[in-house]
Amino acid sequence: MKNLPVSPLAPATFPTLPSVSGMRASASRIGLYGGTRNDLLTVVFPEGASVAGAFTRSATRSADVEWCATQVKQGHARALVVNAGNSNAFTGPAGLAKNAATVAETCRLVGCAAHEVFLAATGVIGAPLPPQTVADALPNAFATLDVPNWESLARAFSTTDTFPKGSGATLDLDGTTVNLVGLAKGSGMIAPNMATMLVFVFTDAAIAPEVLQAMVSAHVETTFNAITVDSDTSTSDTLLVFATGGSGAAAITSHSDPRAARVSEALRGVFHDLAMQVVRDGEGAQKLIQVEVQGGADDRSARTIGFAIANSPLVKTAIAGEDANWGRVVMAVGKAGEPIALDRLAVRFGGQWTAKDGGAVPYDAELVDAHMKGQAINILVDVGVGQGQAIVWTCDLTHGYISINGDYRS
Amino acid sequence: MKNLPVSPLAPATFPTLPSVSGMRASASRIGLYGGTRNDLLTVVFPEGASVAGAFTRSATRSADVEWCATQVKQGHARALVVNAGNSNAFTGPAGLAKNAATVAETCRLVGCAAHEVFLAATGVIGAPLPPQTVADALPNAFATLDVPNWESLARAFSTTDTFPKGSGATLDLDGTTVNLVGLAKGSGMIAPNMATMLVFVFTDAAIAPEVLQAMVSAHVETTFNAITVDSDTSTSDTLLVFATGGSGAAAITSHSDPRAARVSEALRGVFHDLAMQVVRDGEGAQKLIQVEVQGGADDRSARTIGFAIANSPLVKTAIAGEDANWGRVVMAVGKAGEPIALDRLAVRFGGQWTAKDGGAVPYDAELVDAHMKGQAINILVDVGVGQGQAIVWTCDLTHGYISINGDYRS
């Protein structure tokens, strides 16, 4: 595996994050990277902890994703076991055997039920591991559980990430301090390994599983499901949110609890921040691109148009070239297959309209050029049909992407 | 505009093509390239010539495409006027005015009705031309009409193509020789111009418009609509087929005429050959990739899966790297959103299965490596559900693509 240079869009440092009461965690080594780095994240939660999640919609998703998607419906979590270096995707019966052994050993060490154990994996696909590979490493991992060292934990399940990703929030809920911390990896892919997006968020609030799941479902579409690097979808994408209850705050058991809205908004902020960090670490990314679509037939239609733009190689290479090529944006709008009013179509780069009412308009080239030279590019498209709107994010398409994914022999 | 090196996948020479009786054509200059090259193709057909076509499904398609899509329904053609250097897309009322002037002048010169005039344009979008731009060049163009010089005609409407594209066929229909010739451009895109795919096929058979349209519709899905370079869709894609009747063969007025099947098959061959040439001239293409999907729920489903693979940047960069990365193929299958049987999924590169029954299988690495080093890559995927099948074609994704589309300042 190559050591990639840190993304130019990376934050200067890993953020300072609060503690999350009630959980203990460890970063340790299975040896999937030849013992050169940590590759195992282990977390235990107190009895009564709840969990909610969202998963890749791929039809070829990994054994770990299938496991979590089933168990999360019961809403209770006592342990999380994550490995890097092997995704356990497309591994058939061997993958199921590995998971069974891992779950059994975790249950033995924690004293919990199988449905309270959550698994995730990232790395090479189609390479079955011996069933005991993870299980055998667990006694040592559980022996070193401690108060979380967030940056160390984030690094333990990263693969081709060029920087570790974390985000946090602190709330005062009726006099009780509640903390949230999220960690993420993604979304690089590097030969011959397939990487992915894994996100784990922890809070010491106490939240009933169905309330927590509603929060996750409410925010995932506008955050993690609103980003794209290259239109390719991992077999392993996993988002899990755990609520330990360790803060001592009274449990939130209803959507109508006024504290639910505040926790939900904080959760959304953590999701958004992590999603932006994932895009900023897109392979070869030099610019973060926000695509906003207004005037769609409805929000879904606006979102489809937004992704047609954000996934267009011609739009993404133009932005890499610092060119406000609104013609390519018009092309991408056209191919989306959604209702538009061609004679009202308008495109804006930064604050400058470059096309309006279905045609080119004069604009201040100096202002547009200055915007295009920056690291944060904003494209606004109005398709002139209705009130639908959406925002999606992506990065530009550069030689770096080709080098990372195609230059195997360099 | 840069002069690109000729694609390594180009044919050695422009093919030797037969004459098509009954049509006359010219290649001449409007001056959209500063007079440095031809940029106008003009063709006249005899009375009674028929026409059929297929067009881009983009919602932002050009004024020329809208014109042709309407007129082709009447099925009669007397003239074709094509310019390179300006696509007349996203030009609003100015684009309509230019087309009206061009049609009026053509009608005057040819002595025909407006619905018998067909227009196409390729080049920069969103840059309205003065209405007389093309019309003023027509008297000179029509004065030089002659027996077709196919290569010269193909070059007259090329833009970023690195080689001119032509294909032909000759049939003996009950003792009468009938010829077909097709010319194409595409599908490069270069800053700040948007190129496109234009295809014109001419035959001296006599074919009733509805029979000709049925032939076009039957074959376009498996040829021109089965290729992709970068998933982006032009605003100007146009396919027009003209039958002059100049061969003297009796008219084919029914699908049940045994000669219809023979002409149809020859037409399909010309379509296929031109479609492959377009992919071979994909920007930065080093390899022609055939993706065959079997075992789909139905043909449409297989086709969707095929395009998910053919449009995957991760698959295309892997092939650029000469890596039989079947894991990325599995990923692309998974994201297609179509029914698959994961435990029966199989992937073959060249003649070698690399995955079967949902998991990796041992294969002869030497044979696979040799295949991957070639210029023609074959991927076969069986998704194990039903009898649906499809073949699509694409090219690999290389540094050349990024350079052509993003390196504006080099």
Q: Identify the bridge partners of residue A395 per DSSP, sorted by sequence position.
A: A288
Chain B nearest-CA residue for A191: B318
Quote the pLDDT of residue B303.
95
Predicted confidence (pLDDT) at residue B49 exceeds the cutoff of 70: yes
* Other residues' Cβ atoms within 10 Å of the Cβ of residue A365: 11
Determine whether the interchain pair B314/A189 forms a contact, defined as Cβ–Cβ distance below 8 Å: yes
Cα A161 to Cα A156, A187, B141, B266, B312, distances in angstroms: 11, 7, 59, 53, 21
Quote the pLDDT of residue B367.
96
Mean pLDDT, chain B, rounded, equals: 93
Nearest Cα residue to A284 out of A125, A410, A162: A162
Test the B interface: residue of A190, A305, A314, A329 with most B CBs within 10 Å: A314
Q: Which residues of B are catalytic?
A: 196
CA distance A232 to A326: 24
Determine whether the interchain pair A313/B92 forms a contact, defined as Cβ–Cβ distance below 8 Å: no
Peptide bond into A192 cis (omega under 30): yes
Quote the pLDDT of residue B3.
67
Test the B interface: residue of A90, A235, A354 with most B CBs within 10 Å: A90
Name which CATH class applies to A24-280: alpha beta
- Write out chain B residues lying below 8 Å of A401, CB-based: 313, 317, 402
Give the end-to-end CA distance of chain B in Å, rounded to a whole number.
12
SS3 B342: helix
Write out A275-338 in H/E/C secondary structure: HHHHHHCCCCCCCEEEEEEEEECCHHHHHHHHHHHHCCHHHHHHHHCCCCCHHHHHHHHHHCCC
Chain A nearest-CA residue for B314: A405
Determine whether the interchain pair B320/A230 forms a contact, defined as Cβ–Cβ distance below 8 Å: no
Residues B279 and B394: beta-carbon distance below 8 Å: yes
CA distance B242 to B404: 34
Phi, psi of B392 (to 5 degrees): -130, 160
Predicted confidence (pLDDT) at residue B409 exceeds the cutoff of 50: no
Segment B388-410 shows an average pLDDT of 85
Q: What is the DSSP pairing of strand B288-296 with strand B79-86? A: unpaired
Determine whether the interchain pair A230/B355 forms a contact, defined as Cβ–Cβ distance below 8 Å: no
Determine whether the interchain pair A330/B57 forms a contact, defined as Cβ–Cβ distance below 8 Å: no
Predicted confidence (pLDDT) at residue B213 exceeds the cutoff of 80: yes
CA distance B286 to A314: 19
ipTM: 0.86
Q: Identify the bridge partners of residue A238 per DSSP, sorted by sequence position.
A: A55, A198
Quote the pLDDT of residue A405.
83
Residues B347 and A78: beta-carbon distance below 8 Å: no
| Burial grade of B408 (CB within 10 A; 0-12, 13-18, 19 or more) | middle
Same CATH topology for B24-280 and B288-406: the answer is no
Calculated CA dihedral for residues B278, B281, B283, B284, nearest 10 degrees: 140
Quote the pLDDT of residue B404.
83
Phi, psi of B409 (to 5 degrees): -100, 0
- Decide if domain A288-406 falls under CATH 3.40.50.2000: no
Nearest chain A CA: its distance from B158 CA (Å): 19
Quote the pLDDT of residue B13.
95
**Joined tokens for residue B14:** 């422009």
Segment B326-334 shows an average pLDDT of 91
Quote the pLDDT of residue A3.
67
Cα B252 to Cα B88, B201, B256, B257, B323, distances in angstroms: 36, 17, 9, 7, 49
> Angle, to 10 degrees, between the axis of helix B399-406 and the axis of helix A399-406?
170
Determine whether the interchain pair A125/B327 forms a contact, defined as Cβ–Cβ distance below 8 Å: yes
* Other residues' Cβ atoms within 10 Å of the Cβ of residue B369: 15
**Joined tokens for residue B406:** 């993003």
Nearest chain B CA: its distance from A208 CA (Å): 32
Nearest chain A CA: its distance from B176 CA (Å): 44
User: Measured between CB atoms, which of A194, A325, A406 is closest to B191?
Assistant: A325
Nearest chain A CA: its distance from B347 CA (Å): 12
Quote the pLDDT of residue A60.
83
The pLDDT tens digits of the residues spanning A60-85 come to: 888 999 999 999 999 999 999 999 99
Determine whether the interchain pair B327/A357 forms a contact, defined as Cβ–Cβ distance below 8 Å: no
Predicted confidence (pLDDT) at residue B410 exceeds the cutoff of 60: no
User: Measured between CB atoms, which of B59, B231, B408 is closest to A321?
Assistant: B408
Instruction: State pTM to two decimals.
Output: 0.89
CA distance A347 to B98: 24
Give the end-to-end CA distance of chain A in Å, rounded to a whole number.
12
- Write out chain A residues lying below 8 Å of B314, CB-based: 189, 194, 230, 232, 405
- Domain layout of chain B by residue ranges: 24-280, 288-406
Q: Which residues of A are catalytic?
A: 196
Determine whether the interchain pair A314/B405 forms a contact, defined as Cβ–Cβ distance below 8 Å: yes
Chain A nearest-CA residue for B61: A334
**Joined tokens for residue A136:** 């055998």
Listed as ranges, residues in chain A with pLDDT below 50 are: 1, 190-194, 409-410
Please give the radius of gyration of chain A, using alpha carbons only, rounded to the nearest integer.
22
Determine whether the interchain pair A321/B189 forms a contact, defined as Cβ–Cβ distance below 8 Å: no
pLDDT band of B113, cuts 50, 70, 90: very high
- Write out chain B residues lying below 8 Å of A330, CB-based: 60, 89-90, 125-126, 235
CA distance A202 to A240: 9
User: Measured between CB atoms, which of A128, A325, A406 is closest to B398?
Assistant: A406
The pLDDT tens digits of the residues spanning A219-231 come to: 999 999 898 877 7
Test the A interface: residue of B56, B60, B233 with most A CBs within 10 Å: B60
Q: How far is CA A152 from the centre of its chain?
A: 18
Q: Identify the bridge partners of residue B170 per DSSP, sorted by sequence position.
A: B179
Determine whether the interchain pair A321/B406 forms a contact, defined as Cβ–Cβ distance below 8 Å: yes
| pLDDT > 70 fraction of chain B, expressed in percent and rounded | 96
Quote the pLDDT of residue A123.
85
